[in-house]
Homo-oligomer: A and B are copies of this chain.
Amino acid sequence: MQIVVVDDHPIFRDGLSQILRSLFVDAEIMYAGDYGQLQSAIKDNPQPDLITLDLVIPGFDWRTDMLKLRRSLTLTPIAIVSMVQNDEAITCAMDVGINGFVSKGVQPDLLADSILQIMEGETLVRRAGDILSSNDESNLLAKLTARQIDVLRLICKGMSNKEIARELDLSPFTVRIHVSALFKSLGVSSRTSAVAIATASGFS
């Protein structure tokens, strides 16, 4: 199973990946941050099982390129997941045969549900309702245990596992346990990505 996530916002990209991974454990998730990367990804994988598409990525003009994309991938469900709620863009998307539109503002479980429906052939448009305060950082950090937060803080200072072990008076093996669990919660697989997410979320 192959999924292509198209988004130039790394934080949201990671969040969306986490959701998708929870839905499809065995999925191979590829990323594209701009139109060029999207085209490369499609070239390498001519028939992915799902594409989630942000409308505002570098080099992509939805007025023209959304149609091209739909034409080149007639069998693949394309779900637009975007902050843009411009009606013109939505109607344009529906006109060219995009399978669904989901606003980035919706709750994660609702987004997951929408993705599933779209993949089962539904055509739906789900705008962000009145719910808007969904605080990303608290959602992310709320999932972390106390020790994981300790470790994350030291990771953000640039410390290695060994240094963290000395600082917290732990075995390096234990540090690795926390790091690994931490990454799983954040949906990343490298300490650098974790720092990127944490700092962007205002983690202190």
Contacts and interface: CB of A to CB of B under 8 A. Distances in A.
Given A95-B136, A121-B56, A132-B67, A87 B192 contact: no
Contacts of A194: 158
A158 B121 contact: no
A85 B71 contact: yes
Interface in A135-170: 135-137, 155-160, 166-167
Interface in A156-196: 156-160, 166-167, 188, 190-196
Interface size class, chain A: 35 or more
Given A56-B121, A67-B132, A96-B132, 18 more contacts: A8-B121, A37-B166, A57-B121, A71-B85, A87-B202, A90-B202, A91-B137, A95-B133, A95-B136, A155-B192, A156-B196, A157-B196, A158-B193, A158-B194, A158-B195, A158-B197, A160-B190, A192-B195
